[in-house]
Amino acid sequence: MSRAIDKLRKILIELNFSASAKTVSEDSDLFETGAIDSLTLIQYVLAIEDEFKIRIENSDITYENFKTFNTLSQFIEKKYLKTA
């Protein structure tokens, strides 16, 4: 598991009081599992921006980018951290 995925999971667990964020796999759909809903998504984006010191554009807040921990990690690393 990448360090970014570890951070993303920790952030979501802190925001989400349900157990779903703790139990979803790296490739599980975060929306279908209930780990993210519309309200959590907004809070999650703000927390990610704070943790990674980035600014996520509104146009980048898409289902495809936020679908799983893996897709989100890849998106952040590729677009913002330039490590992928």
- Total of domains in the chain: 1
Domain region containing 16: 3-81
Cβ atoms 35, 21 nearer than 8 A? yes
Sequence-distant (6+) residues with CB within 8 A of 77 are: 2, 4, 83, 84
Q: Give residue 84's pLDDT band: very low, low, confident or very high (50, 70, 90).
A: very low
Output the domain CATH number for residue 20: 1.10.1200.10
pTM of the entire structure? 0.87
Determine whether 19 is exposed, middle or buried from the number of CB atoms within 10 Å of its CB (0-12, 13-18, 19+): exposed
> pLDDT tens for residues 24-59?
899 999 999 989 998 889 999 999 999 999 999 999
